[in-house]
Chains A and B, each alone.
Chain A
Amino acid sequence: MIKSIKTWILVGFASLLLVACGQGGGGAGSKKSKTLDNTKKAGFVKCGVSQGLPGFSNADESGNWSGIDVDVCRAVAAAVLGDADKVKYTPLSAKERFTALTSGEIDVLARNTTWTLSRDADIGLTFVGVNFYDGQGFMVRKNSGINSVNDFQNGISACTNTGTTTELNMRDFFNSKNISYEPIAFEKADEVVAAYDAGRCDTYTTDKSGLAAQRTKMSNPDEHKVLPETISKEPLGPVVRQGDAVWEDIVRWSLNTMIEAEEYGVNSSNASSLKDSENPAIKRLVGSEGELGAAFGLDNDWSLRIIEQVGNYGESYKKHIADTGILPNRGPNQLWTKGGILYVPPAR
């Protein structure tokens, strides 16, 4: 009996001790990057992706992920670990994504996420840039006779995803047009597609890139069309946790490097041969001039590895979005020098 009391007392003290030392969590504002250290130690980048959106993040039969969102994580892995394949992907629903990031389950969220003020400022997240400029649109059946959003009438039913900005945009849009509508919001995109395909709703609304991608999953894609109007701004970009400035910079400049590489015509096949280029901007990109990597604790070839292993933004777009027939036209996602709005600060 005495022995068991001793055990109990020990348990009590142990738990008190736990309380006392449990105050150490988090490492805000320190110069070293905890996330970078942990990533190097683990040997892979913890990346949150979608549950399957062709062109952005989609897994094939053997579980290999690809897409332009996936390429952001691959770029970070190439920069930090030297190998673009060293990424651990966690598929997340729209609802889970931010909690997964703030709790540390993932370190980069590249899941076609819209950059908004409240998300950036209120819930402990930081958006590092935009890798796809999108806007919300509507899909309808071709035979419906609806050719524009102006043809919508009271009583229309609209399917969408829960927990996304589309739910809010949809309300703003229908309210501004003074149209009463029936919103049907599903947790997963596959169910939205199935319900719309079956005829439960008259229109399917989400980001236009998403509509184009999901259309390929319909039982008969040719029966559907995307209406020309865009009802919102949806800048999609990678997100990191607030409080690790170095990691934030690494992810931001991994993305910027891909875009800047396209601007200077550096791609995966010519990058290593451009080490002796005349242009100092190109030399900085391929690591033969300056000490840019040192600023975030990386070697000088970090950006060269991104370009060689992942490619520049144009290559990524062509491979995942254009060649798959999702959105052949780059629209706003063209370089600023070619009439688009892709414009990144100089890497110097």
Chain B
Amino acid sequence: MNLKKLNIENKKIRNLIPQALTVLALLSVIIYFATNAQINMGNRGISFGFGFLNQEASFDITFSMIEYDGSHSYGRAFLVGLLNTILVSVIGIIFATILGVVVGISRLSDNYLIAKVAEWYVEIFRNIPLILQIFFWYFAALRALPLPENGINFYDISFLTIKGWYVPKFIWTNFNIFLLSVIAAFIAIYFINSYATKQREQFGKQIPTTIISLASLILLPLITFLFLGVSLTFEYPVLKQLSPTVFTYAGGVSIIPELIALALALSMYTATFIAENVRAGILGVGKGQKEAAASIGLNKNQILKLVVMPQALRIIIPPTTNQYLNLTKNSSLAAAIAYPDIVLVFAGTALMQTGRAIEIISITMLTYLTLSISISIFMNWYNKKMAIKEK
């Protein structure tokens, strides 16, 4: 055995010892808190376990994307909350991105009015606490929207009221065939695009991919309607009287005002940060790049699309990932305005009914962690895709 290797002066071991001790210390602290919690819970007669997830929840939830009522389990209620969290996050991310990009580019506009409006928007909305904005949109919307009997009428098929935005319900027959045709259309578009790229790179041939893509996206589903027995009917919301002065709408789908207010507040707030990222990204592309692009005869739109944006994206993506994560986590403020997200449904009502604080909070934390890591992984993949490819 080589004695020198075990010597404390050996650099490798010397570097390893502090790390090993750190891990040990960290583990000890975790074990300490875990055992202490266990002992204290034992002393106070609190049991620990996840069996409650199968028990009947016996409370109802306003808004659910899957079938749910109080006779389902706490586990199912968790799923309802999780899906609602994902729904509002996805809507928020989409709108925040669109708005953020538009505002970010507007801030650099030559048009004084557009640039100033964009600047004021950013400065106002990023400097007010989000929870206040959520309350503002919710209660402002509630106060501004009419009661159901005076609902804002969109051609008798959709009604906007204080109780929600009632839209027609889609009733499909053979929905699966339709779905398959849409998937097929997307696969076709992918192949058309890669074929077009090849043609362009090898032979310099331009193929009008946009028109072909659009055509396949419309034609394929249309065929299923005409020949494969797919059909779609609508169930329209109808005003219903509950008492001399109380009205509501029956039929159709209600998009609850809580969802609208929360999605609005989250996307308006996050868009300001994304706008700044976009602005930084565009300004971060060297002036020479634009001038070079102009000198070979590209027009303004082409410069932005082909030269500036691909390079700007490398600067924009990493901080925007942070904003997506923030938006998802901020959606937990939903509980304040009764949007049934995972915090309100699971870490709220379910926690109260079962009293299982440690179990439920751990599950909730783990869920947010999983959501955030999923977004991170996706955005890192996208970032890599957009990164400079050394050839």
Chain A residues with a Cβ under 8 A of chain B: 1-2, 4-5, 8-9, 11-12, 15-16, 18-19, 22-23, 25-28, 94-95, 98-99, 102, 118-119, 122-124, 141, 143-146, 151-157, 159, 162-164, 167-168, 170-172, 175, 181-188, 191, 194-195, 198-202, 241-243
Cα–Cα, bound, A243→B42 (Å): 10
Cα–Cα, bound, A152→B61 (Å): 19
Contacting residue for A200 out of B24, B61, B257, CB 8 A: B257
Cα–Cα, bound, A157→B247 (Å): 10
Contact A151-B243, Cβ < 8 Å, known A26-B40, A124-B41, A198-B142: yes
Q: Residues of B contacting A162 with CB < 8 Å?
A: 335, 338, 344, 348-349, 352
Chain B residues with a Cβ under 8 A of chain A: 8, 14, 17-18, 21-22, 24-25, 28-29, 31-32, 35-36, 39-47, 58-62, 70, 139, 142-143, 147, 162-163, 240, 242-246, 248, 250, 257-258, 335-338, 340, 344, 348-349, 351-355, 357
Contacting residue for B336 out of A22, A191, A202, CB 8 A: A191
Contacting residue for B349 out of A15, A102, A163, A182, CB 8 A: A163
Q: How far does the Cβ of B342 sit from chain A's closest Cβ, in whole Å? A: 13
Q: How far does the Cβ of B143 sit from chain A's closest Cβ, in whole Å? A: 6
Contact A199-B62, Cβ < 8 Å, known A23-B39, A185-B349: no
Contact A5-B162, Cβ < 8 Å, known A182-B62, A195-B142, A198-B139: no
Q: Residues of A contacting B43 with CB < 8 Å?
A: 25-28, 243
Contact A8-B46, Cβ < 8 Å, known A167-B349, A195-B142: no
B352 in contact with A95 (CB, 8 Å):
yes
Please name 23 pairs of A and B residues whose Cβ atoms are closer than 8 Å in the assembled complex, sorted by A. A5-B14, A19-B31, A19-B32, A22-B32, A22-B35, A23-B39, A26-B43, A98-B355, A102-B46, A123-B46, A141-B245, A144-B244, A154-B250, A155-B240, A159-B338, A162-B335, A163-B353, A171-B59, A182-B163, A185-B338, A191-B336, A199-B162, A241-B44
Cα–Cα, bound, A344→B52 (Å): 36
B62 in contact with A184 (CB, 8 Å):
yes
Q: Residues of A contacting B336 with CB < 8 Å?
A: 186-188, 191
Q: Residues of B contacting A95 with CB < 8 Å?
A: 348, 351-352
Shortest Cβ distance from A141 into B: residue: B245
Q: How far does the Cβ of B106 sit from chain A's closest Cβ, in whole Å? A: 34
Contact A15-B245, Cβ < 8 Å, known A26-B44, A171-B70: no
B335 in contact with A183 (CB, 8 Å):
no
Shortest Cβ distance from B14 into A: residue: A1
A11 in contact with B242 (CB, 8 Å):
no
Contact A18-B32, Cβ < 8 Å, known A25-B40, A28-B44: yes
A15 in contact with B348 (CB, 8 Å):
no
Shortest Cβ distance from B242 into A: residue: A153
A144 in contact with B246 (CB, 8 Å):
yes
Q: Residues of B contacting A243 with CB < 8 Å?
A: 43-45
Q: How far does the Cβ of A168 sit from chain B's closest Cβ, in whole Å? A: 5
A15 in contact with B246 (CB, 8 Å):
no
B40 in contact with A11 (CB, 8 Å):
no
Q: Residues of A contacting B354 with CB < 8 Å?
A: 122-123
Contacting residue for B32 out of A15, A98, A171, CB 8 A: A15
Q: How far does the Cβ of A8 sit from chain B's closest Cβ, in whole Å? A: 4
Cα–Cα, bound, A282→B14 (Å): 78
B36 in contact with A23 (CB, 8 Å):
yes
From A28, A94, A155, A175, name the one whose CB has the most chain B CB atoms within 10 angstroms: A155
Q: Residues of A contacting B243 with CB < 8 Å?
A: 144-146, 151, 153
Cα–Cα, bound, A123→B351 (Å): 11
Contact A168-B44, Cβ < 8 Å, known A8-B17, A162-B348: no
B58 in contact with A157 (CB, 8 Å):
no
B357 in contact with A185 (CB, 8 Å):
no
Q: Residues of B contacting A163 with CB < 8 Å?
A: 348-349, 351-353
Q: Residues of A contacting B250 with CB < 8 Å?
A: 154-155
Q: Residues of B contacting A200 with CB < 8 Å?
A: 142, 162-163, 257
Q: How far does the Cβ of A185 sit from chain B's closest Cβ, in whole Å? A: 6
Contacting residue for B355 out of A26, A123, A145, A202, CB 8 A: A123
A19 in contact with B28 (CB, 8 Å):
yes
Shortest Cβ distance from A163 into B: residue: B352
Q: Residues of B contacting A119 with CB < 8 Å?
A: 355
Which A-B residue pairs are the 6 nearest by beta carbons?
A123-B355, A26-B43, A163-B352, A145-B244, A15-B28, A124-B44
Q: How far does the Cβ of A253 sit from chain B's closest Cβ, in whole Å? A: 22
Shortest Cβ distance from B148 into A: residue: A199
Shortest Cβ distance from B58 into A: residue: A168
Q: How far does the Cβ of B323 sit from chain A's closest Cβ, in whole Å? A: 26
Cα–Cα, bound, A151→B43 (Å): 50
Q: Residues of B contacting A123 with CB < 8 Å?
A: 46, 354-355
B338 in contact with A191 (CB, 8 Å):
yes
From B42, B139, B338, B357, name the one whose CB has the most chain A CB atoms within 10 angstroms: B338
Contact A185-B344, Cβ < 8 Å, known A95-B351, A162-B335: yes
A187 in contact with B348 (CB, 8 Å):
yes
A5 in contact with B8 (CB, 8 Å):
yes
Q: How far does the Cβ of A62 sit from chain B's closest Cβ, in whole Å? A: 26
Q: Residues of A contacting B40 with CB < 8 Å?
A: 25-26
Shortest Cβ distance from B240 into A: residue: A155
Cα–Cα, bound, A319→B263 (Å): 46
Q: How far does the Cβ of B310 sit from chain A's closest Cβ, in whole Å? A: 45
Q: Residues of B contacting A28 with CB < 8 Å?
A: 43-44
Contacting residue for B245 out of A9, A144, A171, CB 8 A: A144
Cα–Cα, bound, A171→B57 (Å): 11
Q: Residues of B contacting A182 with CB < 8 Å?
A: 62, 163
Cα–Cα, bound, A28→B40 (Å): 10
A155 in contact with B142 (CB, 8 Å):
no
B248 in contact with A156 (CB, 8 Å):
yes
Cα–Cα, bound, A153→B247 (Å): 10
B338 in contact with A184 (CB, 8 Å):
yes
